[in-house]
Structure 1
Amino acid sequence: MDIPLTDYTTGAAVATDLVNTSPTVRTAGDGLPDPESLTAFLADRAVRPDALADREPTADDVFQVQLLRREVRMILETETEDQAVAGAHVLTRRAALGPVLRPAPDGGWRWHVPTAPGASLADELAALFGVALLGVVRALGHDRFRACEAPGCRGVFADTSRAGRRRYCTPERCGNRVNVANHRARQTPESATR
């Protein structure tokens, strides 16, 4: 897997999505219960690890990715920037090799971090997430690692939005739920009966 150093937002989004598949966050159980769900998760996010170049995920891959999910959550919940950086370094060391320059489509060059040949799926994803979370800390700051503000939600996320005002782990789920509740609360008893 070749991880572009300049595109930390993609890796951070996938890391956020992975953390929020946890039964800790979801009310409907684990979002990654089996190899088929892991295949769909990766395909939906256009993540193509080398470890799956010639095979499908196994039950052991699922288990290892579920363990990785806990590690990523711990980094997103760190209290200090130093703790976040240390945790992300641990992830990158699982499979990341030294940065290399690769030709860019525009004719220039771009920095990439390749993963070690033969690395496991979880280790490749760990490298992707580690590089991405380090990118968030460097470019945006540790305060972009946040807990979801939706009542009752235990989700966490890396806010890579330009304005830095994201409030929900999954805006289309938690944000919508809060907006609907706020709308209903504003309705007067008279308008609600119409």
Structure 2
Amino acid sequence: MKTLFSDYKAGAALGTDLVVTGPPVSASELLADEPALSDFLTRHRLAPDALAGGAAPSARDLASVRALREEVGELLRAESEERVAEGASALVARAGRGPVLDRDAAGEWQWYVATEPGAPLAGELGVLIGTGLLGALRTLGHARFRACASPECAGLFVDTSKAGRRRYCVPEVCGNRLNVANYRARQAGSAGTRAARP
């Protein structure tokens, strides 16, 4: 598998999405079994070399990807830039080789980080995520590595948005949940005000 070196957003997004698949962020384990891991990879349009020829993830792959999830979570909550750089570099070094200069689909030269032949699934994902985290750190800065703003969520994410104003790890879940809670609080407050009038 080759990762475009300059496209940090894909790897950072994959890292964020991987972290929010497990407790305490989600109510249940979203990577509960091998088919769930396969679905996760499909949603991200990933075709790792470790699963070439239509191979399905194994129980060992699942355990390794869950361990990777814990490592990535630690990097997203790291308080120092140096810790992020060190940890993300270690993820890339486990299975990555390069950078290599190769042509893209349009025939243009691009820098890639390739994975070692025979690299395990978690190693390939680690290269993609590690490259993304390093690119986000260099391009956007450590302040973009954030905790979810929802008081009911322990999620973490990398804000790769252009404006840098993202507040939630899963905006359509955490943001909506907070908006509904605020709406209900306002409704309860206005109902209490109406009841208090003579």
Task: Name the residue aligned to 1:4.
Answer: 4
Percentage of pairs with the same residue: 51
Q: Distance in 2 between matches of 1:48 and 1:165?
A: 31
Gaps of 5+ in 2: none
Segments of 4+ in structure 1 off by > 3 A? none
- Deviation string 1:119-174 (CA, Å, 9 cap, x unpaired) is 00001111111100000001000111111110121110011011111110100100
Q: Distance in 2 between matches of 1:75 and 1:48?
A: 25
Letter in 1 for 2:42: A
Alignment partners' CA distance in 1, 2:104 and 2:52: 23
The structure number with the bigger radius of gyration is 2
The alignment covers a number of residue pairs equal to: 192
* Residue in 1 that maps onto 2:177: 177
TM-score under structure 2 length normalisation: 0.93
Shift of the alpha carbon at 1:75? 0.5
Query: Which residue of structure 1 lines up, in the alignment, with residue 40 of structure 2?
Result: 41
TM-score (normalised: structure 1): 0.94
Alpha-carbon separation, structure 1, partners of 2:192 and 2:145: 42
1:117 matched to which residue of 2?
Answer: 117
Aligned-partner SS, 1:100: strand
SS of match in other structure, 2:111: strand
* Paired residue type of 1:95: A
- State the Cα deviation string for residues 91-123 of structure 1 (Å, max 9, x = none): 001111011112134442111111000000001
Tell me the distance in 2 between the aligned counterparts of 1:74 and 1:38.
21
Structure richer in helix, relative to its length: 2
Q: Secondary structure at the match of 1:30?
A: coil
Cα separation, 2, equivalents of 1:107 and 1:2? 16
Output aligned runs, 1:66-145, within 5 Å: 66-145=66-145
